[in-house]
């Protein structure tokens, strides 16, 4: 029996890598039968420009923008009022929101969760109620989508959807790998798993994962309470040119140079087959900005080609150490695409 397959888009840093843009471009290809979100909730913020319009989504997968059935998976948590507000917002652009599906066992954020989350003063959460909702899920006291009558028209069983007939899925991740609840800089993490393993928790088996597309920026950003940004006047330039403000909270993102070891580790942990590097056009506008961390030291590359080749060489070395093959580097507009297999 032929199986369904899934291509996964994951951020390899601390979120805000441009996953939404990449997932949107892949969805527009027409290759996929379904697009689905596999983790997080309204704390995500994916900004997409489509036909000259800026569109920001927090819960709804990008497939809706291309007439593709789109699923909020059981790994997500849902604020129903925010969801209906977002559907109305998308309908205002003319999108068919009846294409939305929701896993019947996804959990629901309540006002009590939001109130609890709003008391945070140490982690720097988005205060959307995600963490308390996941806590009740684990504590087996939560409310699920199938318990909410208003959601009945949208409900699906993930096993039946995935395994009843062969389909091609695009999995759209939220947050970044270094915010993962298990592998991030705990406790300054999100409340869900953000890596490829979280896709399997939505009903797929590991043999169905076809490609893992890792997404990074050519520098690094972070939103939260921990001290991340060091002083460098170029970071203020990067923030303004790159518009580094949170899509969900509006908070300015802390900025630092690209940490290549973090990227390599995230690629290896997730079995990345292609790495996309965004915001190349931003660094081109800053003097002497082709920098990255190498063994905790800042390495300054003389130009864009040296920077790009340095990253590709790191990927190639790691691939050789794993007795696998890395691949070609390709310029694609404002980003770089590197084929790899770690």
The residue assigned the tokens 């997500």 is 76
The single-letter DSSP state of residue 263 is H
Whether 46 is catalytic is yes
Q: What is the DSSP letter of 229?
A: P
Of residues 149, 123, 145, 124, the one with CA closest to residue 133: 145
Would you call 66 a catalytic residue per the annotation? no
User: With 0-12 CB in 10 A as exposed, 13-18 as middle and 19+ as buried, what is 47?
Assistant: middle
Peptide bond preceding 277: is omega within 30 degrees of 0, i.e. cis?
no
Q: Which of 7, 16, 136, 256 is catalytic?
A: 16
CA separation for the pair 75, 105 (Å, rounded)? 9
Angle at 160 between CA 155 and CA 165, to 5 degrees: 130
For the record, the structure tokens of 303 come out as: 């130009």
Q: Write the DSSP string, 112-177.
A: HHHHHHTT--SS----SSHHHHHHHHHTT---BGGG-GGGGGGEE-HHHHHHSS--EEEEEEEEEG
Catalytic residue selected from 46, 58, 66, 113: 46
CA-to-CA distance for 108 and 165, rounded, in angstroms?
29
- The SS3 call for residue 314 is helix
Strand partners, 55: 48
Location of structure tokens 């953000």 = 194
| CA distance readout (Å), 293 to 35, 72, 78, 150, 219 | 35, 36, 37, 49, 10
The answer to whether 95 touches 60, Cβ cutoff 8 Å, is no
Please give the positions annotated as active site.
Answer: 16, 46
């Amino acid at each position: 029996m032929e199986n369904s397959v899934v291509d996964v888009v994951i951020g390899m840093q601390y979120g805000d890598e441009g996953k939404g843009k990449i997932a949107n471009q892949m969805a527009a290809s027409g290759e996929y039968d379904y697009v689905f979100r596999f983790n997080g909730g309204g704390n995500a913020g994916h900004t997409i420009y489509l036909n000259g319009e800026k569109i920001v989504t927090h819960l709804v997968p990008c497939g809706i923008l291309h007439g593709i059935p789109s699923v909020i998976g059981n790994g997500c948590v849902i604020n129903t009022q925010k969801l209906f507000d977002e559907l109305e917002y998308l309908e205002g652009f003319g999108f068919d929101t009846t294409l939305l599906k929701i896993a019947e066992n996804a959990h629901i954020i309540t006002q009590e969760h939001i109130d609890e989350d709003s008391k945070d003063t140490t982690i720097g959460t988005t205060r959307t109620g995600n963490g308390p909702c996941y806590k009740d899920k684990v504590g087996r006291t939560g409310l699920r989508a199938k318990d909410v009558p208003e959601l009945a028209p949208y409900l699906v069983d993930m096993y039946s959807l995935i395994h009843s007939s062969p389909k091609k899925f695009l999995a759209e991740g939220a947050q970044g790998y270094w915010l993962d609840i298990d592998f991030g800089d705990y406790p300054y993490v999100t409340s869900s798993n953000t890596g490829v393993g979280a896709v399997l928790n939505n009903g797929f088996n590991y043999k169905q994962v076809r490609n893992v597309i890792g997404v990074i920026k050519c520098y690094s950003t972070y939103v939260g309470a921990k001290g991340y940004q060091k002083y460098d006047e170029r970071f203020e330039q990067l923030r303004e040119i790159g518009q580094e403000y949170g899509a969900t909270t509006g908070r300015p993102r802390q900025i630092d140079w690209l940490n290549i070891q973090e990227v390599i580790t995230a690629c290896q942990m997730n079995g990345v087959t292609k790495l996309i590097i965004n915001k190349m056009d931003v660094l081109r506008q800053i003097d002497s900005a082709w920098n990255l961390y190498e063994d905790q030291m800042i390495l300054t590359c003389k130009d864009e080609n040296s920077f790009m080749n340095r990253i590709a060489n790191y990927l190639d070395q790691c691939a050789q150490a794993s007795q696998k093959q890395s691949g070609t580097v390709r310029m694609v507009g404002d980003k770089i695409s590197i084929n790899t297999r770690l």
